[in-house]
Amino acid sequence: MTDAPADPTPDPPDPSAGSSADPFIDVAGFVALPRLAGLALSVDGSRLVTGVGTLNADKTKWVTALWALDPDGEAPARRLTRSAPGESNAVFAPTGEVLFTSARPDPEAGKDADEPKPSLWALPAGGGEARLLATHPGGVSGVMVAREAGTVVFAASSMPGAETAEADETLIKARKDAGVSAILFEDYPVRHWDHDLGPAHTRVFAAGPLDPDAGPDDRLASPRDITPETPATQDVEDTALSPDGRLLAVAVAVPVAHAARRKRIDLVDVDTGDVRTLAGDEGYDYGDMAFSPDGGRLACIRGTHSSWDEPGDMTLWVVEVSTGEGRDLTPEFPNWPAHPVWSADGTAVFFVADESGHHPVFRAELDGTAIIRLTDHGSFSDLQVHPDGKRLFALRAMVDSPAQPVRLEAGQQPSVLPNPGALDDLPGTLTEISTVVADGSTVRSWLVLPKRASAEQPAPLLLWIHGGPLMSWNAWSWRWNPWLMAARGYAVLLPDPALSAGYGQDFVRRGWGAWGGAPYTDLMEITDAAIVRPDIDETRTAAMGGSFGGYMANWMAGHTDRFRAVVTHASLWQLDQFSGTTDSAYYWAREFGDPLHDRQRYDDNSPHHSVAAITTPMLVIHGDKDYRVPIGEGLRLWYDLRRHGVESRFLYFPDENHWVLKPGNAMVWYETVFAFLAEHLLDEKWERPALL
């Protein structure tokens, strides 16, 4: 058996979920904590499913299983699936089956079969063994089901020119047998985050509807490729399916001048494959879509392209499917809406947006009369609307809580549903501080304080700078977790300087094209506001950041000696070099210009110009598979520091990308940072991590 039978008995978290008495002291225990991601509600609203990630048996990777949650919040959570590869991308069919993807083996495959690729499976509504629905040589990566018709649309990786799954398999085998790994590109871009854009690309296939009387061996009949024409470098990722299963909306990247892209929305007739463009104005990107309950409208996010003078802006856009006419539901809304979901009756659209250190849920009336914020605290995702129109479900994370499922009802605070991801007591407290800077703007920050911090025992301070830069500290982070630091006696400052999201367009403009300007002075001034507290030791401070936060850490190292240590992860160092090697160079060129002709912003804002001024010890961290901030940035930074005699160390991950995702590597990441900070802030002897 690979799946749990229908059983009302609660299933406790796996033993691999960790048994440390204090996971914030024991990094291995922290890494093993269960992690919730994704949420799916059944069509009738009676069932709720989430994914729970835990360590596998040998603790080398996280594996996700599907768990049932009680929408009423009364019954304990119950595990639904059990397989070594794990399950993901859960969605309910009208039949009550749960569809998901998994690399579990095909029960009909022979003993000499190749390593299985992720395939599409269905778990019966009453529980029991899952049945295999569809396979593809390149693997299945996602699934949607029309909530009324039951039409199934799934995504799968396919080789160019392969008209059938058999042809795809032949091409894959031919490349393997010939020892060919080369990829020929005829357009830009060539990479994205951590993977090459080719030779195979993600396409979409339609089949169904599901047969409610299907047997355990019945599969989807003859899936049809309905992918609209797209550039050769595009994977189809952003899609939406109409409730009646007739239309598929696809966000398509369209080539424009200077090797750039814009995104339009195409509508595909699922039965015929006919395609028409629904929304695609020049200068805008369209995507993040949802069909209305009657299928007559499409809600999406419409974003203006950024430019030398202006950062991009985003609004909630509703398009009439029959005519293509669109209108803005959030013309005066100060922040950036995301992930729209329709109300059950189709009279409103729910969405989320960054706002002052939170990521609340909002409701926009379709008639334009009001936008109402529905939640106060936390960062919400995966919104699910109950068919009764009275309840919403979501995952809510906070700076002091990992993601947990909640029920939202009018006039009530979010109610946490029983789940396997709840945590016990944290090793500190969370508060907020703010300061008014020179131009009159208010800069706010979260401040994590260790329990023992006091005027008699002030805590050393770690300034942590978020990435993005168009982001905000507003949720739990497994990769940069301040509570591990609080457990070791550090206070952690989590500020939102200029360029941060959730404070209006003018707040972003303050740092646009001038990363070394207002973002830097904001960070300095909010640090000043923190160190005047009696429970903070102003003589022991360090600065840390990743990605854009790493850029700022590098900038600080060359412009102030106030910190005892600097930790810089996946950081930008030489902006000219970065501008042509990052995966989406055209995006950054809109803000910084062509480095061959518009050098001002590169010269004014590149941290490498100040290397000779660096005296602060630095820990450089970078992954070789990072395509957003390529390894060349870390290598040059490391070389520049060594040739200038800066006390420094370089933690290099040959097999990690922009993030550190493998459990063992995550542990040595934390252990190295702990040792480096203890050496410079606590005056302890440097202790090299045992596995390094």
pLDDT higher than threshold 60 for residue 641: yes
The pLDDT of 294-300, averaged and rounded, is: 98
The pLDDT of 122-126, averaged and rounded, is: 92
* Owning domain of residue 244: 227-374
Q: What is the pLDDT of residues 132-147, one digit of tens each?
A: 999 999 999 999 999 9
The pLDDT of 489-508, averaged and rounded, is: 98
* Residue reference for tokens 């090299």: 688
**pLDDT band, very low/low/confident/very high, at 411 (cuts 50, 70, 90):** confident
Angstrom distances, CA of residue 177 to CA of 112, 169, 174, 671: 17, 12, 5, 42
Does 167 reside within a domain?
no
pLDDT higher than threshold 70 for residue 95: yes
- Using the Cα atoms of residue 428, residue 430, residue 436 and residue 438 in order, give the sign of their dihedral: positive
Q: What pTM does this model have?
A: 0.94
pLDDT score for 112: 64
Does 470 reside within a domain?
yes
Pair (631, 498) in one structural domain: yes
Angstrom distances, CA of residue 268 to CA of 203, 217, 287: 13, 30, 15
HSE, side-chain direction, 13 A CA sphere, residue 236: 27
**pLDDT band, very low/low/confident/very high, at 623 (cuts 50, 70, 90):** very high
**pLDDT band, very low/low/confident/very high, at 110 (cuts 50, 70, 90):** low
pLDDT score for 12: 41
CATH number at residue 667: 3.40.50.1820
Q: Can you tell me the distance from the alpha carbon of 202 to that of 138, in angstroms, rounded to the nearest whole number? A: 9
Portion of the chain with pLDDT greater than 70, in percent: 97
Does 299 reside within a domain?
yes
Q: What is the pLDDT of residues 52-86, one digit of tens each?
A: 999 999 999 999 999 999 999 999 999 999 999 99
Pair (511, 659) in one structural domain: yes
Query: Considering the chain, what is the average pLDDT of its residues?
Result: 94
Does 603 reside within a domain?
yes
pLDDT score for 430: 98
pLDDT score for 466: 98
pLDDT higher than threshold 70 for residue 102: yes
The pLDDT of 325-348, averaged and rounded, is: 97
pLDDT score for 662: 97
Q: Can you tell me the distance from the alpha carbon of 43 to that of 91, in angstroms, rounded to the nearest whole number? A: 10
Pair (573, 636) in one structural domain: yes
Does 604 reside within a domain?
yes
Pair (490, 629) in one structural domain: yes
Pair (346, 465) in one structural domain: no
CB 289 within 8 A of CB 325: no
Q: What is the pLDDT of residues 431-472, one digit of tens each?
A: 999 999 999 999 999 999 999 999 999 999 999 999 999 999
CB 191 within 8 A of CB 583: yes
pLDDT score for 3: 58
The pLDDT of 168-181, averaged and rounded, is: 95
Pair (313, 452) in one structural domain: no
pLDDT score for 35: 97
CB 207 within 8 A of CB 156: no
pLDDT score for 6: 41
216-225, 230-239, 303-312, 383-392: segment of lowest average pLDDT: 230-239
**pLDDT band, very low/low/confident/very high, at 9 (cuts 50, 70, 90):** very low
Does 153 reside within a domain?
no
pLDDT higher than threshold 80 for residue 8: no
- What is the identity of the amino acid at 625? K
pLDDT score for 14: 42
Which of 351, 374, 397 corresponds to the end of one domain?
374
Greater confidence, 505 or 2? Answer: 505
Does 577 reside within a domain?
yes
CATH number at residue 354: 2.120.10.30
C-alpha torsion angle, residues 436, 439, 440, 441 (rounded to 10): -70
Pair (370, 433) in one structural domain: no
Beta bridge partners of 257: none
Work out the number of other CB atoms within 10 angstroms of the CB of residue 75: 14
- DSSP code of residue 296: S
Pair (495, 586) in one structural domain: yes
**pLDDT band, very low/low/confident/very high, at 688 (cuts 50, 70, 90):** very high
Pair (360, 450) in one structural domain: no
pLDDT score for 18: 40
**pLDDT band, very low/low/confident/very high, at 36 (cuts 50, 70, 90):** very high
Which of 374, 396, 417 corresponds to the end of one domain?
374
> DSSP letter string over 28-63?
HHHHTS-EEEEEEE-TTSS-EEEEEEEE-TTSSSEE
The pLDDT of 279-308, averaged and rounded, is: 97
Per the structure, the count of domains in the chain is 2
Pair (464, 357) in one structural domain: no
> DSSP letter string over 483-545?
HHHHTTT-EEEEE--TT-SSS-HHHHHTTTT-TTSHHHHHHHHHHHHHHTSTTEEEEEEEEEE
Pair (322, 437) in one structural domain: no
Does 124 reside within a domain?
no
Pick from 380, 316, 378: nearest CA to 348: 316
CB 99 within 8 A of CB 93: yes
**pLDDT band, very low/low/confident/very high, at 126 (cuts 50, 70, 90):** confident
CA-derived radius of gyration, the chain = 25
**pLDDT band, very low/low/confident/very high, at 496 (cuts 50, 70, 90):** very high
Q: Can you tell me the distance from the alpha carbon of 642 to that of 639, in angstroms, rounded to the nearest whole number? A: 5
Pair (477, 547) in one structural domain: yes
Show the tokens assigned to 551. Answer: 């850029």
pLDDT higher than threshold 80 for residue 652: yes
Greater confidence, 112 or 26? Answer: 26
